[in-house]
Structure 1
Amino acid sequence: MNNLGNKIRIWRNYRKLTLEEVDHLTGIHYARLSKFERGVEIPNQQMLARIEKALNVSFDDLEEIDDEIELLINKFIDTLFYLNEDYDDYLRIIEKRKEDFILNQNYYKVQLIEYIIYVIQENAVEANKIESILDKIVEKRTLYEQLYLEYKAINIYNLRKFQSAIDILESAMAISSYNKSSAMIYYHLSILYHGCARYEESEKYIQKAKQLFVEGCSYKRVLNCDIQLANYYIRVGRYDLAIDLLKSCIETMRYLNVNTHTKALALRNTAWTYILLNEFDNSLKILEAAEQLEPENGNLILYKIWCNYKLEKYNTAKEIISDNYELSKDRNYGDRFQLFDYLVNQGKQRPAKRTITQAKKVYFKLADEQRFGNLFFYLDILIDLLERDGDKDELIHFLKIKGHLGK
């Protein structure tokens, strides 16, 4: 079907007219109209004018909308690559122009923009609504299918379905035909492999992505690659390299227009690395800066409680817990917050059974969700509690688990 034929069909359906009714309005036989819609025949200018009058539309104006949509999605692709992050501006433009866009044959490209933004914002409800549509209409073996598959993989990754997400992302890579696309896919592959603890593959892809972002002068993406690379160093125990790289990232942010979340993330990751090094005073200094940017972040609050607990500043830890007790109801942080509450309140005393039970609950939840970044940390807390409690059988059991996970 050619573009003109598709537009005639779309607008005829929009006007809720049958081919026979358009026949009556134009004097063009409905069988011939059908040929126009299917692209078997192209109407001459006189016939086209009669069809336009019957449908109350100008196909020349529709060509301008085609161009507008093409410009919009090309600009959006650059926004993704250069991490300009003006996503709400795109949603406002789409909402304002939706009445014009919605009847265009390329409207799926507009829907693709919306879908990607919802995935980035982790708005699964809205993303899933559009996904069911895009599955059927995105053109195969095109840049648009590659983009769709790439962010469909991220949407699935957010559900912790690692292998399915990786498979889809590799399908997107098979379609990719230029460096900007490949850079983005490498970056996302790195995140996926990191999420399922395949760290060597994660590091390989982040290095590939970084090289292509450097070549494309996408310096914000290069910065994100370095933050991700620092995460790799943390996971493999190279805390010295992680600290140096994160400090370099924080310094670089002074010269780039980086959003608040990225700045706060780099600071929190630095603080987390100091926690793993048992340098709790240094961690608290970094957390002070992070708190200025995102004071209500759940990880920030947990890090502050832990540092004060380890420094035996129990009263300060209790104040932080009291000031943020609503976090105990949070789906992501509540169990860990409750564990820290128990730990702080018992101090150096022999751990209570409820504390050990809560530590097990946290560990098993993290294991079930495959959150490997936190798994060892909370497993070590559980092992320490069992050792202090003198429960040798349970201690041996979880030491074996730790040994197995470490292989």
Structure 2
Amino acid sequence: MQMRPILSTLRRHKLTATLLTLQVAFTCAIVCNVAFMIASRVQRISVPTGMAEDKLAVIQSTSIEKGENQQAQHAADLAALRGLPGVQSAVAVSYSLPLDQSESSRGTCPSKQALDRAEQINSIEGSGCMQPTQYDGTPGLINTLGLRLVAGRDFRPDEYVSTGKPTVAIITRALAQHLYPDKQALGQSMYDGDNYIRIVGVVDRFLRPNLRKPGVDDDSMIWPQRPDGSSVLYVLRSAPKDRQRVLKAAAATLLKINPNRLIDPGRVQTYTQIRAKYFQRDITMISLLFASALGLLFVSALGITGLANFWVQQRRRTIGIRRAIGATRGNILRYFQTENFLIVSFGIVLGMLLAFALNLTLMKFYELPRLPLYYLPIGALVLWLLGQLAVLGPALRAAAVPPVIATRGV
């Protein structure tokens, strides 16, 4: 019964109602897309590496002594590091760890025929070949990092090489599915253009040093190859509470064993710090997006509250007349809530269309994924709730207008 007078009132205030509708529409479009971008960033920074992150710490050591037997030095360093109180295990790797940015990758094919196809089309896309990250390290790497073997075994001592290429590898579950989607990867022989490499194990996850896209971020392989360069990354495993103490003692021990080395203070860090540094820009972006969304919702709430207060002030005599002829406070309260619901609903309908248009623009220029449909009803519920909360104060003041106002000339 209130719909006709509400619609009649809105037609008499077309400009004001239209402006508020547009404000709600733009808020809906922007907030839905911002919420999607925040969720995407949160998903990105929450990606698991497959390692026991809270137990790991790293030290990068670079020898400056010419003619030094690097592998003998690494062996002596590891022996000393493993003897430190609190160190559960220690290994050396050549390149980096997941999210550590320095990456080494190599084209790998499930067969020589797949490599021939890739060469014919001059691309690995559609050939069956992949370009996984290549990790190496000294014996004990799997256990030290906390990687979970889901098939096969760890490397045997006789499979580690100091020079040349290994003949076996351990790969991630994701890489196994990409290389051999229709059969068991364990026991298969990959081809890298020069040699066949037999798969002896499959780990659940082992993330890349640099994220690319969700479909290939877990494409990694581990070779049983001891580091032989002058620069090496020592990975220490300890209890989470012991990491800082272990790092300090390890740095001092390495310098005591061989002073002719450089230890970068910026590369003496826990893995938690490595992860935080990698995602620092994403965390900042999440904060900015969240603040902008809250600010936009706050401005919309102010607009709704301000308009409702203005209309209550204008309609005091009309409200008093309605109260005098029998309208209850509940009737007045529901009138303003219904009026606000209609305006916000019109804005939401238009906002959903704008949300899709904005998402298409972001997809074109910023490679953002398509906006999932479920963000729209969630955004609508948020704006409906916001609208009802924003109008509640003015509506309660309107409901409190006494009937005696009808007898006044104001």
TM-score exceeds 0.5: no
Bin of the TM-score, shorter chain as denominator length: under 0.3
Give the TM-score, by structure 2 length.
Answer: 0.24
Comparing both structures, which one devotes a greater share of its residues to helix? 1
**Higher relative contact order at CA 8 Å, sep ≥6: structure 1 or structure 2?**
2
Give the TM-score, by structure 1 length.
Answer: 0.24
